[in-house]
Amino acid sequence: MSKKKKKKPRLLQGNEAIVEGALAAGCSFFAGYPITPASEISEILAYRLPQVGGTFIQMEDEIASLGAVIGASLAGAKSMTATSGPGFSLMQENLGFACVAEVPCVIVNVMRGGPSTGLPTNPSQGDVMQSRWGTHGDHPIIVLAPSSVHDSFEVTVKAFNFSERYRTPVIVLSDEVVAHTRETVILPEPDELEVLDRIRPSMPPEWYIPYEDTSRGVPPMGIFGDGYRYHVTGLIHDIRGFPTARADEIEPFMKRIHRKISQHFHDIQIVKHFLTEDAEIVVIAYGSVARSARRAVLDAREKGIKVGLLQLVTLYPFPRRDVVGTIRNSRVVLVPEMNMGQISREVKRVNEGMSRVATLNRIDGGMITPQQIYEWLIKE
């Protein structure tokens, strides 16, 4: 389909850009269940994946979808699923499995209004905490939020790279506005992209210890059928992968799966600064709201207001260092969100009294417009 067209601009919606990003990153397996506003991702991949020798399957529900994605990843395929809030809730069980068994996979959640069946299909950012803490037990997770069509492409490639490199599920937290906005984009060519693959074992199979600690905290991953026979389980396991109840094996395991993320914060935490250097007011936003905020910041600057935008691309692990560094010299921080205040709590948590944290929340099924943010800024 995409025969080398020389940097041709293309009119795409956010969901289409996620598909392009996934294919560019080498995704060869997708399992999903229909749900608005994520269905386009399934539909397009059902068409595209068989063309490139990949596999698409529509499963009986979202639980099964993530199960199949994990199975395919264990057999060596870069795998993805896509859903919205209600389906994402069903995936939480197997999401925890992927965390504990350290199986790379990408889960796209195109947020719509909740709770429950909620608002199909109005925009929302109500699943931030679900993406962080939805599955039970202590676990590390990576959550990335695109704010535009081009972002959707880039973030999806990043999501695959992180999932492969850190052997972890990565959540792409899109929202209905980003997903269904159409805009002209020029996507990078394959040779301009960094695409990373999981580290595979190279030692003789009899020397392979599947969950052994390494300096990176990420053990090499054997693929089913490649001769490295090992046991994969959702039970807490020892370094050989066998279930354990020994305290001296449980704690090192739990610490390692957290450390493999925390010691790579510099790589994983992505933020975008926009006019923040001299900003007295800092807007912290993500997803489609970051886009509205950008416009509002520009308009307010014209009125002489010293305001800047810190866009969070990585929501989790929460980019504490970047947030603290940016708000340290500010007078006030505004966190506009299409929820009752989920990331604003994280900002307040790391703020520790340095600045005043204000919120701007919209939960009526509408998007936060540049005008809304602008009006707040000029009143401040």
Partner 1 sequence: MTEITKLVHKYLRHDKKFPHVWCPGCGNGIVLGAMIRAIDRLGYKKDEIVMVSGIGCSGRLPVYVDFNTLHTTHGRALTFATGVKLAKPELKVIVVMGDGDATAIGGNHFIHAARRNINITAIIINNNIYGMTGGQYSPTTPYGMKATTAPYRNIEHAFNIAELAVTAGAVFVGRGTVYHARLLDKLIEKALVKRGFGVVEIITHCHTQYGRRNRMGDAVAMMNWQKEHAVRIERAGDLSEEELKDKFTIGVLADRDLPIYTEQYDLVRQQAQELTKR
Confirm or reject binding of residue 190 to partner 1 (CB under 8 A): no
Say whether residue 230 binds partner 1 (CB under 8 A). Answer: yes
- Nearer residue to partner 1 within complex by CB, 59 or 363: 59
Residue 238 in tokens: 């020892």
**Dist. CA 98–CA 139, nearest whole Å:** 10
User: Does 50 sit near partner 1 (CB under 8 A)?
Assistant: yes
Only segment of 63-71, 116-124, 145-153, 172-180 that touches partner 1 (CB under 8 A): 63-71
Distance separating alpha carbons of residues 17 and 339, to the nearest angstrom: 25
Of these, 68, 187, 271, 312, which contacts partner 1 (CB under 8 A)?
68
Q: Which of residues 37 and 104 has its CB atom nearest to partner 1 in the complex?
A: 104
Could you tell me the smallest distance in angstroms from the CB atom of residue 210 to partner 1? 11
229 binds partner 1 (CB under 8 A): yes
Gyration radius from the chain CA atoms:
21
Give the binding-site size for partner 1 (rule: CB under 8 A).
Answer: 46
CB of 69 to partner 1, least distance (A): 6
The SS3 call for residue 112 is strand
Cα separation of 20 and 39, whole Å? 15
For residue 349, give the H/E element and its range: helix 343-351
What are the residues whose beta carbons fall under 8 Å from the beta carbon of 132, sequence distance 6 or more?
141, 143, 315, 316
Per CB under 8 A, 200 contacts partner 1: no
Q: Which of 38, 74, 111, 327 binds partner 1 (CB under 8 A)?
A: 74
**Hey, which residues between 250 and 289 contact partner 1 (CB under 8 A)?**
none
Does residue 79 touch partner 1 according to CB under 8 A? yes
- Cis peptide upstream of residue 34 (ω within 30 degrees of 0): no
Residues 6+ apart with CB under 8 A from 366: 122, 123
Structure-token pair, residue 228: 């490295």
Nearest to 281 by CA among 302, 312, 307: 307
- Residue 83 near partner 1 by CB under 8 A: no
Interface with partner 1 by CB under 8 A: which residues?
1, 28-29, 31, 47, 50-51, 53, 55, 57, 59-61, 63-77, 79, 93-94, 97, 224-227, 229-235, 240, 242-243
